[in-house]
């Protein structure tokens, strides 16, 4: 079974919106 866990981070700096997404693949 493969589980995909995605984490989204919102960062606001210098009037710019930066979106960083971290995806972790777990194999159980």
The full set of domain ranges for the chain reads 1-28
What pLDDT digit, counting tens, does each position of 1-28 carry? 788 887 766 666 666 665 667 778 878 7
Residue 20's pLDDT is 66
pLDDT of residue 10: 64
pLDDT at 7: 76
- Using CA atoms, how far apart are residues 13 and 19, in angstroms rounded to an integer? 11
**CB burial class (10 A; 0-12, 13-18, 19+) of residue 19?**
exposed
C-alpha span between 16 and 26 (Å, rounded): 32
């Amino acid at each position: 079974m493969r589980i995909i866990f995605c984490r989204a981070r919102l960062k606001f700096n210098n009037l710019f919106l930066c979106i960083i997404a971290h995806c972790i693949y777990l194999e159980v």
